[in-house]
Amino acid sequence: MEQTIFSLLELNLNVKEAIRQNFDEAYWVRAETSDVRPHRNGHCFLEFIEKAQDGHSIVAKARGTIWASTFNLLKPYFEQETGQSFASGITVLVKVVVNFHESYGYGLNVVDIDPSYTLGEIARNRMLVLKQLEEDGVLELNKELPLAEPLNRIAVISSQTAAGYEDFHNQLENNSAGVIFYTKLFPAIMQGDRSEPSIIAALEEIFKYQSLFDAVVIIRGGGASSDLSCFDSFNLATNSAQFPLPIISGVGHERDVTVLDAVAHTRVKTPTAAAEFLINRAVETINHLMGLQDRLVHASRNILTIEERQLAAWSKDLYHTSKSVLQTNRNTLMFLGEKLRSVVKQKMEREHFAIKKYDHFVSLSSPEKMLKRGFSITTKNGKVIKSISNLSNEDVIKTQLSDGIIESKIVDKK
Amino acid sequence: MKKEELTYTAAKEEIEKIVGLIDSEELDVDQLAKHVKRATYLVDYCKKKLTSTDEELQKVLEELSV
């Protein structure tokens, strides 16, 4: 019997031709990227896969190539439109040309891409995840956690090697408020398909020491933008949503809001913004404290001033009142003194008058005056004679006149 | 056993209370001194908590094997 034997090359070339003839157009294909390897020369090599409904087993696979001339345009275009890097693990809609090479086998050459499909897929997934979280009642849990005061013990989930953590740490260390922060890095893989379990493991580690921390900061940054899809994962989101410490998420791009961003307590755009958020809170805390201190000083000074014024007023009153009392007393004394003087004067005058009258009377009655007026004093043997009965004739009597004494003998009495 | 330690939040609440009391001018001068002293102590305590390192905590964190 005759068997047609082909050389491998001949077989492959035939297959190659058959494919070229039957698949001569470019086809829009949706598939998941895997093992994306940009090459130094600008070309990009990757694998396209399709997973089964359960999301685990792979049902279709194809090698992919994007030549440099295409990739140089495609990559920035895709990244700008989706905000995601062209990396493994994303669902894309690409326009491909089928080729079969006799040595390299089956492959798809990418000539175009529709980023809106990816966007749509990303958005759709996010919606599904968010919806599930809401149904589970966990969507808002982390947001409802109160922020401690002060908020300065921070568990950081970030890449061990990337500069993100260093910058973050330095910012906090040198903050202008002078607040001390305590940070501890719980390293994790922040991109690619190993990131989800890695970050979850970090969260579990932090959970063990949750009493040592006030918050968790998840940051990623510095340098190449990469695939955010791990932050849209349900597992990570549900773990984060239910985490007992507030989570500050700083993994996103400018405009992308990942599911993690949506469930985290606070979302910031960059590690720098995360540090600023923490520092601002610390500044607020300090300002509040300083405000209280000011009020304390102010209020107590106020009270002291009021007391001082009161005392001053009283002492002034005291001064014036006592001065016035003294004055009144002085016046009274003066008045009394005057009165005394006047009363005394009057009395003296009365006495004088009285005495003058006596004096006058006395002087009128004085013997000298009487004598001068012609009266005389008769004495007998030194005794004053007031009656003639004491006298007889021949008695010798002395008679005192105003200017002398005469001696006489009585010759007759009547 | 950890002794009952004054938390930052509790301290701040007490400061607010004292300030409110002083503001309301219901205190006489004797009580004023006592309360101002307490409030000043609390403010210092809070400031220290914020701006000076808790060596113990620092050590614990560093020793965490992660």
pLDDT tens for each residue of A254-276: 667 889 999 999 999 888 899 99
* Per-residue pLDDT in tens (0 to 9) along chain B, 66 residues: 344 578 888 888 898 888 888 877 776 777 888 888 888 889 888 888 888 878 888 888 888 766
* Residue in the block written with tokens 């002398």: A404
Interface test with B, best of A288, A292, A311 (most B CBs within 10 A): A292
CA-based nearest residue to A213, from B41, B64, B24, B17: B64
Burial state string for A187-212 with b = 16 or more CB within 10 A and e = fewer than 16? bbbbbebebbebbbebbebbeeeeee
Burial of A232 (0-12, 13-18, 19+ CB in 10 A): buried
Residues of A with Cβ-Cβ distance to B51 under 8 angstroms: 178-180
Q: Chain A partners of B32 at a C-beta cutoff of 8 Å?
A: 300, 303-304
Burial class (CB within 10 angstroms; exposed 0-12, middle 13-18, buried 19+) of A63: middle
Interface probe for A, chosen from B19, B28, B49 (most Cβ of A below 10 Å), is B19
Computed over its alpha carbons, how large is the radius of gyration of chain A?
65
The rounded distance, in Å, linking the Cα atoms of A133 and A237 is 8
CA–CA gap between residue A20 and residue A116 (Å, rounded): 29
Query: Are the CB atoms for A231 and A251 separated by under 8 Å?
Result: yes
Question: Which residue, among B14, B17, B46, would best test binding to A if mutated, counting the most A CBs under 10 Å from its CB?
Answer: B46
By the 8 A CB rule, do A269 and A252 touch? yes
Query: Is A103 strand, coil or helix?
Result: coil
- The shortest CB-CB distance from B50 to any of A150, A209, A302 is to A150
Give pTM, 2 decimals: 0.65
Note down pLDDT in tens along chain A; length 414 residues: 578 898 999 999 999 999 999 999 999 999 999 999 999 999 999 999 999 988 788 999 999 999 999 999 999 999 888 877 888 888 899 999 999 999 989 999 999 999 999 988 888 889 999 999 999 999 999 999 999 988 989 999 998 887 778 889 999 999 888 889 999 999 998 877 788 999 999 999 999 999 999 999 999 875 445 567 788 889 999 999 999 999 999 886 666 788 999 999 999 988 889 999 999 999 998 898 888 888 888 888 887 888 888 888 888 888 888 888 888 888 888 888 888 889 888 988 988 888 888 888 887 778 888 888 899 899 998 888 888 887 888 889 999 998 999 999 989 888
Q: What is the DSSP string of A140-168?
A: TTTTTSPPPSS--EEEEEE-SSSHHHHHH
Q: What backbone phi and psi angles, to 5 degrees, belong to A36?
A: -75, 120
Q: What is the pLDDT of residue A223?
A: 44
Q: What is the dihedral of CA A160, A163, A167, A173, to 10 degrees?
A: 40
Q: Are strands A26-38 and A91-101 parallel, antiparallel or unpaired?
A: antiparallel
Place of tokens 């997973």: A51
Contacts of A300 in chain B (CB under 8 A): 22, 32, 36
Q: CA A220, CA A392: separation in Å to the nearest integer? A: 170
The helix (H) or strand (E) run that includes residue A50 is strand A44-51
Chain A contacts of B61, Cβ < 8 Å? 182, 184, 212
Alpha-helix residue ranges (DSSP H) falling in chain B: 8-23, 29-51, 55-63
A-to-B residue pairs, Cβ atoms closer than 8 angstroms: 76
Angle between helices A271-365 and A163-173 (to 10 degrees): 10
Question: A235 to chain B nearest CA, in Å?
Answer: 22
On whether the CB atoms of residues A386 and A393 are closer than 8 A, the answer is no
Return the biggest CA–CA distance within chain B. 56
**Mean of per-residue pLDDT scores for chain B:** 81
Closest Cβ–Cβ partner in A180, A212, A289 for B52: A180
